């Protein structure tokens, strides 16, 4: 690891810790989409050619170099140091007034996309948030996240979608960001057999680095992407069987290119998180204590 790689790694870990703290302390925060945009709610992303060029020249990371996407889904390529400032702004803005819901707050949910490089994770995120597809997109370096407000079954949610680099050499950059995730979208490409066979490795990596306390009940959703491709190497039945055997996870087949099931996939992720939270609340209410006898009652779950 050269000096530049070490610097990048240290900065990513610092940012990840701040982001994780935000996720843990503001699960039911009051961040509105406007406030998130004000905070430039996107994290550093670059392409491999730029990284190699920066390493070769031994120069510092450049500052803002690009601004793309519509105003309601702003995305910037930014310097790593600026990410710390953005996270700080998000923390500050979390105390502001939120979107109008029954409780007066919008639920912030962190969803992370995991899978081999090239399976289309970035394309799925960008299709969902910006409704755009770029067939020439580069692989993600490290991580990036975008946000989108939505309503699912009467609940108003700010969905914070994290995209991660799938290449093994970027493992040290992506794993710190697993902490605080509410749902994990395990993604493979139906035309890439190896990406399907690696799902178990991604599942284990996430459980370990996210420090998941109850893996059996953590909301995973599995996505078979690129169903627009003709040469499939993984059948629907195979994928469904894997999901059933590894945790009875929901399985959806998607295509970022033609927008097949993209919205459905992210809405399903929200439903899975809400279902888990509802179950936990039910368990907590069910475990009442009889103060006179000291015995527990209503332990119908958990």
SS3 category, 279: helix
Mean pLDDT of all residues in the chain? 72
List, for residues 7-25, the tens digit of each pLDDT value.
555 555 555 555 555 554 4
Predicted confidence at residue 134, as pLDDT, reads 81
How sure is the predictor about 89, in pLDDT bands with cuts at 50, 70 and 90? very low
List, for residues 151-166, the tens digit of each pLDDT value.
999 889 999 999 887 6
Domain edges within the chain:
3-297
CB 69 within 8 A of CB 76: no
Hey, which residues does 68 pair with through a beta bridge? 75
Tokens standing for 178?
Answer: 């697993």
Residue 100: pLDDT above 60?
Answer: no
Query: In whole angstroms, what is the distance from residue 12 CA to residue 2 CA?
Result: 16
Predicted confidence at residue 60, as pLDDT, reads 39
Predicted confidence at residue 69, as pLDDT, reads 37
- Tell me the mean pLDDT in the region 108-114: 94
Q: Is the pTM of this model over 0.75?
A: no
Q: How many CB atoms lie within 10 A of CB 145?
A: 22
Residue 256: pLDDT above 70?
Answer: yes
Question: Is domain 3-297 annotated with CATH 3.40.50.300?
Answer: yes
């Amino acid at each position: 690891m050269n000096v530049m790689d070490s610097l990048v790694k240290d900065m990513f870990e610092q940012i990840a810790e701040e982001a994780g703290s935000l996720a843990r302390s503001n699960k039911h925060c009051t961040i509105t989409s406007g406030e998130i945009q004000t905070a430039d709610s996107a994290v550093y992303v670059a392409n491999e050619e730029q990284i190699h060029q920066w390493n070769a020249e031994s120069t510092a990371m450049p500052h803002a170099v690009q601004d793309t996407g519509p105003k309601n889904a702003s995305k910037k390529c930014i310097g790593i140091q600026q990410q710390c400032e953005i996270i700080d702004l998000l923390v500050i803005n979390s105390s502001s007034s939120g979107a109008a819901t029954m409780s007066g707050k919008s639920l912030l949910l962190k969803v992370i996309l995991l899978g081999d490089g090239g399976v289309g994770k970035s394309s799925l995120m960008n299709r969902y948030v910006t409704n755009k597809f770029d067939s020439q997109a580069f692989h993600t370096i490290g991580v990036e996240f975008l946000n989108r407000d939505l309503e699912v079954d009467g609940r108003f949610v700010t969905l914070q979608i994290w995209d991660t680099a799938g290449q093994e050499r970027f493992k040290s950059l992506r794993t710190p960001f697993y902490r605080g995730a509410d749902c994990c979208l395990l993604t493979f490409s139906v035309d890439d057999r190896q990406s399907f066979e690696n799902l178990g490795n991604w599942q284990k990596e996430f459980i370990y680095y996210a420090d998941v306390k109850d893996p059996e009940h953590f909301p995973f959703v599995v996505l078979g992407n690129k169903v627009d491709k003709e040469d499939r190497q993984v059948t629907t039945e195979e994928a469904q069987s894997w999901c059933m055997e590894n945790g009875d996870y929901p399985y959806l087949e998607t295509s970022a290119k033609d927008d097949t099931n993209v919205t459905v996939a992210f809405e399903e992720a929200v439903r899975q998180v809400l279902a888990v939270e509802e179950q936990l609340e039910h368990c907590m209410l069910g475990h009442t204590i009889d103060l006179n006898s000291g015995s527990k009652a209503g332990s119908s779950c958990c």
